[in-house]
Amino acid sequence: MAETSARGGACQALLFPSSSSPSCARVEALVVFTICDSYVRRPDQADRVIGTLLGSVLPDGTVHVRNAYVVPHSESADQVALDIEYHHNMYVSHQKVNPKEVIVGWFSTGFGVSGGSTLIHEFYSREVQSPIHLTVDTGFTMGEASIKAYVSSNLSLGDRHLAAQFQEIPLDRKVLLSETVEFEMLKSVVVEKLPNDLEGMESSMQKLYALIDEIYKYVDDAVEGRVALDNKIGRFIADTVSSVPKLSPSAFERVFNDRIQDNLALVYLSSITRTQIAVAEKLNTAAQVL
């Protein structure tokens, strides 16, 4: 009985610090790219690559992983040798570029936590308080791409260190998508040409059209009773429609015409500038008759 309560106490002590340790991880696409690339370029005999994660810890306890670099290591049955010097050199170099990015943890490819991980984790615990451990399953062991983040806590009984426990923490995947980049570009193996601004616009318009068509179809179906009515969707559509600012036709016409005029003026201005530079060039390089 006493023993269980002691264990319970240990558990308490164990869970307690985990509230101050990272609660959630956020990983940017670049990190996944770096890890995959380093896995592709791993040395001949290596089974996995490991490396350092850089980023920052947000005030709410979320770890924002923004950068990563691989660290050479060698692994045998019962020991792991990490090139610590390399790790430090690289970290110093990264710090020179962006001092805001600090070590937040480490990554490894492969599925889940493996035996050698505790040793490496211990090393990183000395570098930073409560590092996170990110595993990227490059082998698709479970038939799907899995990226998992863990924090570790030590299980100890009294002074005796029993084991290290890795606890999975939720991973926020939304930010994987870099806001600015055409995401299609990152998904496919080859993109022949970067879209220019008009093409981008066209594709956005097409998406918009498709969405509007879809909503039309949904509303029609809903009105005719072909699909089950859903208040939530209905309200959402109503909200969206009502978010279009109401302007009287004459007021809108005025604004619209003003804007069109402005843009026409701009186009005119830029054409006249082009003419001017064309003329200027002819004059500047023409043979001067003296």
Partner 1 sequence: MANPAPAAGGKSFLQAIATVTEEAPPPLRVVQMEGLAVLKIIKHCEEFAPALVTGQLLGLDVGSVLEVTNCFPFPTREDDEEADADGANYQLEMMRCLREVNVDNNTVGWYQSCLLGSFQTVELIETFMNYQENIRRCVCIVYDPSRSSQGVLALKALKLTDSFMELYRNNGLTGEKLREKKLSWVDIFEEIPIKVSNSALVSAFMKELEPESPVSQCDFDRLKLSTAPFMERNLEFMIGCMDALSSEQNKFQYYYRNLGRQQSQQQAWLQKRRQENMSRKAAGEEPLPEEDPSNPIFKPLPEPSRLEGYLVTNQISSYCNHINGVAGQNFNRLYLAKALQED
Q: Give the whole-angstrom CA distance, residue 199 versus residue 196.
A: 5
β-pairing verdict for 24-27 and 171-172: parallel
Cβ proximity to partner 1, 3 vs 179, nearer residue: 179
- Residue 244 corresponds to which tokens in the numbers above? 């279009």
- Residue 31 corresponds to which tokens in the numbers above? 């990190």
Query: Whole-number minimum distance, CB 275 to partner 1, in Å?
Result: 10
Cβ proximity to partner 1, 40 vs 77, nearer residue: 40
The order of strands in the sheet holding 132-136 is: 160-169, 147-157, 132-136, 102-109, 50-57, 62-71, 24-27, 171-172
Q: Give the whole-angstrom CA distance, residue 249 versus residue 131.
A: 60
Q: Give the whole-angstrom CA distance, residue 216 versus residue 208.
A: 12
Residues 195/203, Cβ–Cβ less than 8 Å: yes
Q: How many angstroms separate the first and last alpha carbons of the chain?
A: 112
Query: Whole-number minimum distance, CB 197 to partner 1, in Å?
Result: 5
Cβ proximity to partner 1, 23 vs 95, nearer residue: 95
Going from the C-alpha of 287 to that of each of 275, 279, 290, the distances in angstroms are 20, 14, 9
Instruction: Name 69's Cβ contacts closer than 8 Å, sequence gap at least 6.
Output: 34, 51, 52, 54, 90, 94
Query: Whole-number minimum distance, CB 252 to partner 1, in Å?
Result: 5
Query: Whole-number minimum distance, CB 176 to partner 1, in Å?
Result: 6
Residue 165 buriedness (CB in 10 A; 0-12 / 13-18 / 19+): middle
Cβ proximity to partner 1, 2 vs 97, nearer residue: 97
Cβ proximity to partner 1, 15 vs 251, nearer residue: 251
Query: Whole-number minimum distance, CB 97 to partner 1, in Å?
Result: 5
Cβ proximity to partner 1, 163 vs 177, nearer residue: 177
Query: Whole-number minimum distance, CB 188 to partner 1, in Å?
Result: 6
Query: Whole-number minimum distance, CB 118 to partner 1, in Å?
Result: 24
Query: Whole-number minimum distance, CB 45 to partner 1, in Å?
Result: 13
Cβ proximity to partner 1, 198 vs 229, nearer residue: 198
3-state secondary structure of 168: strand
